[in-house]
Amino acid sequence: MRRRLQTRLGTGLAALAVALLAVAFWSDRPVHANAGDAVDYASPLEVLLSPDGARLYVLCQQSEEVRVLDAASFAVIKNIAVGRVPRGFSLSPDGGRLFVTNSWDDTLSVIDTSTLAVAATWPVGAEPSSVVEDRAGKRLFVANRISSDVAVLDAQTGVEEKRLLAGRGSSYLTLSPGGSRIYATHIYPNPPRVRTEQDNRTAPESEITVIDAARAVVVDRIPLHRIAGVFHVAISADGRLGVVSEYHPKNLIPLAHLEHGGAFAYTITVFGADVGKASVEVPLDELERYASQPFGVAIAPDKSRIYVTSGGSEMVTVVDVPRLLRFIHTHNGPFVQDLSASANYVAARIAVGRNPRGLTLTRDGRRLFVANRMEDTISVIDTRTNRVASTITLAGPKTLSVLRKGEQAFYTARYSFQGQIGCSSCHIDSTFDGITWDLEPDGFGRDIVANKMLEGVKDTEPYKWTGTNPDIPTECGPRTEKYFWRSETFDNLTLTDLAAYIRSLEPRPNRWRLANGEQTPAQERGQELFTRSVDKFGKPIDEHNRCSYCHSGPKGTNQKISDVGTRKPTDNTGLLKAVPLTEIALIAPYLHDGSARTLEEIWTVYNPEDKHGRTNDLTKDELNDLIEYLRTR
């Protein structure tokens, strides 16, 4: 991909870019491209302005580059190729370096902004997703999504000093304007702190991790109760107000309807001295209209406004800060269930492009740039009028491929009742959400199910834990229409696109496999246990009770239904499909209902009769070996 891009660049980048780039207002829907088109969409995910406001940096996730635009004319200055699937970027405080986290090859690109060339590429942690440099230029902080930590690096050499424990799915960072604190958020909920019999039905808990930038230690964790999915975090220029965007799932009640925010509340949490309390959560939604999937947040330089993008609702919500503070100071919460609350502080809702994500304000706060990821555009909003003044169209294919259309359908909330949810409400970034749900069709309180990873789902049918959906179109079509949307569902063409997109989701690189393709001794031992046919006492293990029987094949599933002894009193059946092992290390909690918090618990707690494989003859170190092997799947 990069080679192709470089070739393109080498054959007349400037002329091509100028030709392709235009300042345009909303245009008609592009025509559909043929299925299977190989195209490089830009998919702008984040935007930044240089300190002098002259340049607009656009992080393009799919074309894997940073596009540098003139912030006045929007002309392309340069496209800079970076690593695989870049997810986050930030400027050094002096603007001299631009750091890019490449989430799929675990590297950090260091771009010299004077030459607009990659000066260094440093190896970092597992799935780096965001980066900030401290004021002193001494340290870099990198949020690693898979290892759920924040790595501390030497800012000059990239050598890692240590890692700080962050929330699960550590993803977004911001440096306080004064430079003393770094705030970190995470996209999956933390495991429950206290073990209970109802672990799979505890409310999700998240946090804002507060790091002392000078000492590089965690000094506080601001709890976010009942939150699963926290995204951008912003701090006001005076350091007195912080805000995060987040999802508030209603997963502890049956998902019986979408009315009145039945599935989600989409909220922000504000914190800091201005708030006067540890934190306050307020909804962005209003009655019969939802701010689905909030992502980017920015605070106006004068602290008059908070801007929040909603990827599913395809809009920017403008929050009047003085009104918000007045509201939370004069009313007693919680506010999250109150769909009338937002009327007290939402000043405007601005429609932008498809799947808006990152956003950035000019230093005077008069213009707001919004990256529309699924449309390859940047909306330029005049903050005085709260209207889209112009739209920058990024270079890319003129037509929409099947996969692109499917991805658009996946991320939008426009198909659901009152626009409340999209596929990506639960499958964050096309993955999962780490929580369990009570889906109504099985009966209230029946068949609690854990949400699962979509990557690698191709060719693992039947779907649903009970295997009752024969294929993805059935899973995403009638089932979705009936039980989720409560509204018109996708038309057949869109459903085909969506299924094609879901089938295209390849597993991310496995971080537990050795680079040379070999196995560690523990992984080797674990694989032997996985494939064994005789137990520790020399007794043959029934074929159906071997790990490698149900979890056979390249994806670790024989796609058959069986009873592994995990049925709960609330389950309608104990017959379950063998779950694929793809990315099994990432997708806790485990078992159909999420009752096993860790891989270990599948066998130490929930396999008393050896129905889920013969495992009770194993020693603790052998079970550890088995798990080390499973992590490589």
Partner 1 sequence: MKKLCMIALLLVASAAASAAPAASAPKATAGTEASQGAQAPSAPPQVAAPQVLPRYRFENFTTANGLPDNHVFSVLVDGDRIWAGTENGLAVYENHAWRTYSTQDGLAHRAVLSLALDKRTGDVWAGTMAGLSRISGGRIDTYTQLNSGLSNDVVYGVSVEGENVWVATAAGACRLNTRTGQWTLYNERNTPMVEIWVYAVSAAPDKVYYAVWGSGLLEYTQKTGRWDKYEDPDGENEIVLFKDQGLIHEIVTSVSYVENIVWAATYFGASRYDGRYWHNFLTKDSGLPSNFINSIKGVDGNRAWFCTDKGLAYYDGVNWAVYRPSLKDGKPEMTVRDAQGKVTPVAVTTAPAHNYVLGIDFQGSDIWVATAKGLSHGIRQPQ
Binding site for partner 1 (CB under 8 A): 125, 147, 161-165, 190-191, 193-195, 207, 209-210, 215, 217-221, 512, 522, 597-598, 600-601, 604-605, 619-621, 623-624, 627-628
CB of 324 to partner 1, least distance (A): 27
* Strand partners of residue 360: 369
Residue type, 130: S
- Whichever of 15 and 515 has its CB closer to partner 1, that residue is 515
Q: What is the three-class DSSP state of 500? A: helix
Smaller CB separation from partner 1, 29 or 620: 620
279 vs 386 by CB, closer to partner 1: 279
Amino acid identity, residue 399? Answer: T
Distances (CA, A) of 611 to 261, 561, 608, 617: 40, 14, 8, 13
Nearer to partner 1, 504 or 624 (CB): 624
CA quadruple 609, 615, 617, 623: dihedral positive or negative?
negative
Q: How far is the CB of 620 from partner 1 (least distance, A)?
A: 6
Task: With beta carbons less than 8 A apart as the criterion, state whether 108 and 101 touch.
Answer: yes
CA-to-CA distance for 375 and 398, rounded, in angstroms? 11
Distance CA 24, CA 252 (A): 45
* Shorter beta-carbon distance to partner 1: residue 149 or 274: 149
Residues 158, 153: Cα–Cα separation, whole Å? 5
User: Which tokens go with 256?
Assistant: 């019986």
Q: How far is the CB of 61 from partner 1 (least distance, A)?
A: 26
Task: Say how far apart CA 430 and CA 476 lie, in whole Å.
Answer: 14
For residues 180 and 227, the answer to whether their CB atoms sit within 8 Å is: no
Comparing CB distances to partner 1, the nearer of 16 and 210 is: 210
CB of 179 to partner 1, least distance (A): 19
Q: How far is the CB of 186 from partner 1 (least distance, A)?
A: 12
Secondary structure (DSSP) of 285-310? -BTTB---SEEEEEE-TTSSEEEEEE
Quote the least distance from Cβ 159 to partner 1, whole Å: 14
Distance in angstroms (rounded) separating the CA atoms of residues 390 and 137: 36
With the C-alpha atoms ordered 483, 486, 488, 494, is the resulting torsion angle positive or negative?
A: negative
Q: Judged by CB, which is closer to partner 1: 79, or 209?
A: 209
Nearer to partner 1 by Cβ, of 83 and 167: the residue is 167
- Nearest Cα to Cα of residue 450 among 204, 106, 173: 204
Q: How far is the CB of 511 from partner 1 (least distance, A)?
A: 8
Neighbour order of strands in the sheet with 22-24: 22-24, 387-393, 377-382, 367-372, 356-361
Q: Write down the least CB distance from residue 621 to partner 1, Å.
A: 4
Neighbouring-strand partners of residue 463: 469
Q: How far is the CB of 629 from partner 1 (least distance, A)?
A: 12
Residue number with CB closer to partner 1 (65 or 628): 628
